Chain A
Amino acid sequence: ETGVTQTPRHLVMGMTNKKSLKCEQHLGHNAMYWYKQSAKKPLELMFVYNFKEQTENNSVPSRFSPECPNSSHLFLHLHTLQPEDSALYLCASSQGQRGEKLFFGSGTQLSVL
């Protein structure tokens, strides 16, 4: 499969649950990103990894914990989330860490009850 693949597509969790979002890119890119997309708000950059090293943490609360074991895989571990964290979480990759020509995954629609 080509492109950027995210799983699961939909996730419903309670505030005390722990869950993980997974992203895999098949494009040979070296940079991967997590973005949050909420209704009527701009896409918000959360984390950037370049060659599996974190190069950006955009003041994200510690209840979101990223993990990048290699340049092709990216995880977002979730614990004790709040209802306001409900959103579409998009993974993206690019060649280089300049945030240019991003290839996005289809996202995980997260609902926190």
Chain B
Amino acid sequence: GENVEQHPSTLSVQEGDSAVIKCTYSDSASNYFPWYKQELGKRPQLIIDIRSNVGEKKDQRIAVTLNKTAKHFSLHITETQPEDSAVYFCAASIGSNFGNEKLTFGTGTRLTIIP
């Protein structure tokens, strides 16, 4: 099955600087890559997603890049703010025997923004 590795597990960044979180996946058939943000004690929320037919996608201070050849994708957060502090999860989708997409998640990155 699919295997998603996420690095680093923890990341501390000075407020205003950029943060980058990287994920690799094992199955070249994966074609959907979302990122979820989970603040302490709250639910995971989708912040951005990308499909394999696109190399990069941006939404204000957040961007995701995809390298299909190397099978890795990254989350970039620019001009970080205290409210960016959270755990970030990457995921990759793979078709299951039931014909529906099945997300495989990474282990998460705890991002701390230092004021």
Binding site for B on A (CB under 8 A): 4, 40-45, 48, 50, 55-56, 58, 90, 97-107
Q: Determine if A42 and B106 form an interchain contact, defined as CB atoms under 8 angstroms apart.
A: yes
Q: Determine if A102 and B46 form an interchain contact, defined as CB atoms under 8 angstroms apart.
A: yes
Closest to B106 in A: A42
Instruction: Give me 14 other A-B pairs in contact (C-beta within 8 A), A50-B100, A98-B100, A102-B36 excluded.
Output: A42-B105, A43-B103, A48-B100, A56-B100, A90-B44, A97-B101, A98-B32, A100-B32, A101-B34, A101-B49, A102-B34, A104-B45, A106-B42, A106-B43
Q: Determine if A97 and B107 form an interchain contact, defined as CB atoms under 8 angstroms apart.
A: no
Q: Determine if B44 and A99 form an interchain contact, defined as CB atoms under 8 angstroms apart.
A: no
Shortest Cβ distance from residue A6 to the other chain B in the assembled complex, whole angstroms: 9
**SS class of chain B's interface: helix, strand, loop or mixed?**
strand
Binding site for A on B (CB under 8 A): 4, 32, 34, 36, 42-46, 49, 89, 91, 93, 96, 98, 100-108
